[in-house]
Amino acid sequence: MAGDGTEILIDEKGKRTDGRNLDQMRPISIKVGILKNADGSAEIRMGRNIIIAAVYGPRELHPKHRALPDRALIQCFYRMSTFSVGDRKSPAPSRREREISSIIANALNSVAFVEAYPRTTIDVYLQVLQADGGTRCASLTAASIALADAGIPMKGLIAGVAGGLINDTAVLDLNNIEDQKGSGDVPVGYSPTLDEISLLQLDGVFTIEQFEETLKLSLKGCTDIHKIQKEALKAKYIKIRDEVSVEVENLVGKTEIKEDIKEDIKEQDAKLTESTIKEDKEKKVEEPPLKAPKPVPEESKKEKVPEESKENPIQEPSKEGEDKTEVV
Long-range contacts of 3-6 (CB under 8 A, 24+ apart): 4/181, 5/177, 5/181, 6/166, 6/167, 6/181, 6/182, 6/183
In angstroms, what is the minimal distance from the CB of 42 to other proteins? 11
Binders of other proteins in range 33-62 (CB under 8 A): 35-38, 41, 48, 50, 52, 54, 56, 59-60, 62
DSSP 30-43: EEES--SSSSEEEE
Query: By CB under 8 A, is residue 26 in contact with other proteins?
Result: no
User: Site size for other proteins, by CB under 8 A?
Assistant: 31
Query: By CB under 8 A, is residue 86 in contact with other proteins?
Result: yes
Query: By CB under 8 A, is residue 17 in contact with other proteins?
Result: no
Closest CA to 165 of 131, 115, 215, 128: 215
In angstroms, what is the minimal distance from the CB of 123 to other proteins? 7
In angstroms, what is the minimal distance from the CB of 86 to other proteins? 6
Tell me the CB-side half-sphere exposure of residue 273, using CA atoms within 13 A: 5
Query: By CB under 8 A, is residue 64 in contact with other proteins?
Result: no
Query: By CB under 8 A, is residue 84 in contact with other proteins?
Result: yes
Closest CA to 84 of 48, 127, 131, 134: 131
Q: In the 8-state DSSP scheme, what is residue 210?
A: H
Phi-psi bin for 201: left (phi > 0), alpha (psi -120 to 50), beta? beta
Interacting residue with other proteins among 9, 114, 131, 257 (CB under 8 A): 131
Query: By CB under 8 A, is residue 125 in contact with other proteins?
Result: yes
Query: By CB under 8 A, is residue 127 in contact with other proteins?
Result: yes
Residues that bind other proteins (CB under 8 A): 35-38, 41, 48, 50, 52, 54, 56, 59-60, 62, 77, 79, 81-88, 91, 123, 125, 127, 129-132
